[in-house]
Structure 1
Amino acid sequence: MEEQRKSENALVPALRFEGFSDPWEQRRLGEVVDVRSGRDYKHLKPGLIPVYGTGGLMTYVNEALSKNEDAIGIGRKGTIDQPYKLYAPFWTVDTLFYAIPKIGIDIEFALSCFLRINWKAKDESTGLPSLSKSAINDTRILLPDAREQSRIGTLFSKLDSLIALHQRKHEKLKTVKQSLLEKMFPKEGEDVPEIRFEGFTDPWEQRRLGEICDEVTRRNPLSEAPVMMITAESGFIEQSERYSTDNAGESLQKYIVLRRGELAYNHGASKLRPFGSCFNLLADEARIPFVYHCFSLRSDCPAFTSLELNGGQVEDQLRTLVSSGARMDGLLNISFEEYQTVRLLLPSLDEQRQIAGLFAKLDSLIALHQRELDILKNLKQALLEKMFV
């Protein structure tokens, strides 16, 4: 009797809706969904039916593989570990299976099951990751009755809607920021921006960076300031956020001590910023890698200057400074002397501060939505672990 109780306990999730107590039953996915193959679409005419591949939406055609049955898309080749819901009518290419839930199976519950499975462990190729129908069909899951499936599926559907809503808000704010960056800074060959705060009419003045800054080279081996680094996405972050161990080692004594309002240019290429990125320090003090180009401004606003130094016109200038493919330990081959030749357009200090203040508020909003998005994603992951067996 005790062994039977232990066995039944192993077949129930840690967290359940009230009113459900029966053990879940083991099933093969082939008993739960009908896995079908995608097909080539090139013979079809343009239309309104979406065509999906492993990376998502590809194009639109005039015919559907599934006319009125929603399904779960799961990669056959390439990206095999990111299943997602397909809304009928749709077409899928031959690298994407589509799995239609059988009668009595809730699609949202089935999708949650798919999301929990380690599909990479079922990879049947030594090259490009691939899945077979049999690998999917033979995968075993535990299944509750239809009512409990529906309750769980509805919960995750609502969570997905919330996540999508916050994702849209987050992307919209990033789009607004990008649009304002384009309109609140003068275009190439002009000396006034398209959009300005009321009361500002004077043309912006051109200066080379070297005319308005001084290099920072201070070092202090006894400093206990946090060790920080620059990422293109987030600006200054503590090095421990990116590396689990002390990445500086003995070279820490050579690190530059930067103070609030001073700037650093990380001339390492990244996907987001192929010609490096520059940020001003918001913390009181930090130790940062000595390979960065560090400087202070004599009178201009650091937050404004970093915005302009990360802009497209400066990027165009940096592109001409970099010899093709030249690197030093993964860094762009741009010396501080060369970096100082970059030309900037500068308004009055008051206008600089107002522009910087606006973008600081936008960045705070973007960060807030990112945190809310992360909380929802973490909640979903925790529920996937607790509400399934």
Structure 2
Amino acid sequence: MSNTQKKNVPELRFPGFEGEWEEKSISSFLKESKIKGSNGSHAKKLTVKLWGKGVVPKKETFKGSDNTQYYKRKAGQLMYGKLDFLNCAFGIVPDSLNNYESTIDSPSFDFINGDSKFLLERIKLKSFYKKFGDIANGSRKAKRINQDTFLSLPVFAPKYDEQLRIGEFFSKLDRQIELQEQKLELLQQQKKGYMQKIFSQELRFKDENGEDYPDWKEKKLGDITEQSMYGIGASATRFDSKNIYIRITDIDEKSRKLNYQNLTTPDELNNKYKLKRNDILFARTGASTGKSYIHKEEKDIYNYYFAGFLIKFEIDEQNNPLFIYQFTLTSKYNKWVKVMSVRSGQPGINSEEYAKLPLVLPNKLEQQKIAEFLDRFDQQIELEKQKIEILQQQKKGLLQSMFI
């Protein structure tokens, strides 16, 4: 690839391509398709996901109105969501969804010129959908980009051969990301399968002599904890570079790790609420009730304090905290949370109720083997996530450099 400083050319370009890119309207690439389909009660429906995540089958809990007209969408067509233009709702219909249908709120277009992958990547850039989203029609809460407006929007594009080269390049990069995501999904499914077998005792570990460990025993969380306590009722202030305030929103929903992107500091510092390694936190109210976190941070330069909507449990020395935490990631635990959190208002579980959490525990040695086994999965999963993030950041940088 080469760099250039000419007007109307990208910063980064494949060798052998010269000349300025031309400004063209979307209509020079696309033509709207309006093949009438069935009504809302019979249509096999599809939808366009936000943030460029593609076109997928639509999951509905109701059939829809018999009076709603649906239109057939063909594989290879480009679609967008009128109401979610500002949220990058763009995608191309995959072969598997050929002849699926949508309403006029998700129009489709045939390609009449140009490379489909090139155009899709161009309009998925924030510099396109955020800039032109401001001209959307409708109220503030329901802005729409209609088909005529969309087709009139301008983009800069090179000649077809260069479009094709760029499109092929990003298709290969997307395939690399997709394969990495599949690898991650496989690891996650493998861990899930092992957890089901381990916590149902279908799969047991052996001791160093190849003998079975003792039978598991029924306990409650309160039986194996030194103490439990609610967090500090402090306000979050600007991060002071030393003291970290952990609120439920600071814990990543999927990885259950602390998010270091938007750190804050409590306006009150009290060592009583400072976390120690292997402390386990539980969310006690709202939609996050049941969400768990184990404090494994080893960054000694920080102090960690936990907020009032969290409850801390310290596991006693006869048990392995990581084993207990891994149990809180199981479907059995989630079912217990769903039952226990039912309230007349918003969901919630208090410390006394958490203390009644039923557990079936092996001895500490087997707990440790299980915890280490599952933690290795978590470490590998985190590594694969980092690889995906690196690829996505590489793509983001290349998109910014290879388009105008």
Percent identity reads: 20
Which residue is 1:303 aligned to?
Answer: 322
Partner letter of residue 180 of structure 1? Y
Which residue is 1:130 aligned to?
Answer: 144
Shift of 1:23: 0.4
Pairing partner for 2:91 from 84, 90, 96: 84
Contact 2:21-2:156 within 8 A present in 1 as well: yes
Deviations 1:254-310 (A, max 9, x none): 76111112222232444xxx4322232212464222422222222201110011234
With structure 1 as the length reference, what TM-score do the two structures score?
0.80
Structure 1 residues 107-118: aligned runs within 5 Å: 107-116=116-125, 117-118=128-129
Pairing partner for 2:332 from 284, 288, 313: 313
C-alpha distance in 2 between matches for 1:129 and 1:121:
9
Do structure 1's residue 293 and structure 2's residue 308 form an aligned pair?
A: no
How many corresponding residue pairs?
356
Q: Which runs of 5+ in 1 are unaligned?
A: 1-7, 187-192
Deviations 1:186-228 (A, max 9, x none): 2xxxxxx1222344364311111111111266999xx956444
C-alpha distance in 2 between matches for 1:38 and 1:169:
39
C-alpha distance in 2 between matches for 1:295 and 1:43:
51
C-alpha distance in 1 between matches for 2:187 and 2:154:
42
Contact 2:37-2:72 within 8 A present in 1 as well: no
Pairing partner for 1:195 from 193, 200, 203: 203
Pairing partner for 2:254 from 227, 233, 248: 233
Deviations 1:358-389 (A, max 9, x none): 21111112111211111112222211111111
Pairing partner for 1:335 from 326, 350, 353: 350
With structure 2 as the length reference, what TM-score do the two structures score?
0.77
Aligned alpha-carbon RMSD (Å): 3.3
Which residue is 2:108 aligned to?
Answer: 98
Partner letter of residue 10 of structure 2? P
SS at match of 2:124: helix
Shift of 1:11: 0.7
Pairing partner for 1:208 from 220, 236, 241: 220
Distance 1:51 1:313, change over 3 A: closer
Structure 1 residues 35-50: aligned runs within 5 Å: 35-37=32-34, 39-42=36-39
Q: Which runs of 5+ in 2 are unaligned?
A: 50-54, 60-70, 233-240
C-alpha distance in 1 between matches for 2:41 and 2:334:
43
Shift of 1:234: 2.9
Distance 1:357 1:39, change over 3 A: farther
Shift of 1:30: 0.7
Which residue is 1:52 aligned to?
Answer: 46
SS at match of 1:381: helix
C-alpha distance in 2 between matches for 1:305 and 1:86:
45
Which residue is 2:197 aligned to?
Answer: 183
Do structure 1's residue 379 and structure 2's residue 394 form an aligned pair?
A: yes
Distance 1:262 1:43, change over 3 A: closer
Contact 1:77-1:131 within 8 A present in 2 as well: yes
Deviations 1:310-343 (A, max 9, x none): 433334444444351445xxxx543322221211
Contact 2:289-2:349 within 8 A present in 1 as well: no
Deviations 1:14-60 (A, max 9, x none): 111112220011111111211324654448989xxx85322433279
C-alpha distance in 2 between matches for 1:306 and 1:134:
54
Which residue is 1:32 aligned to?
Answer: 29
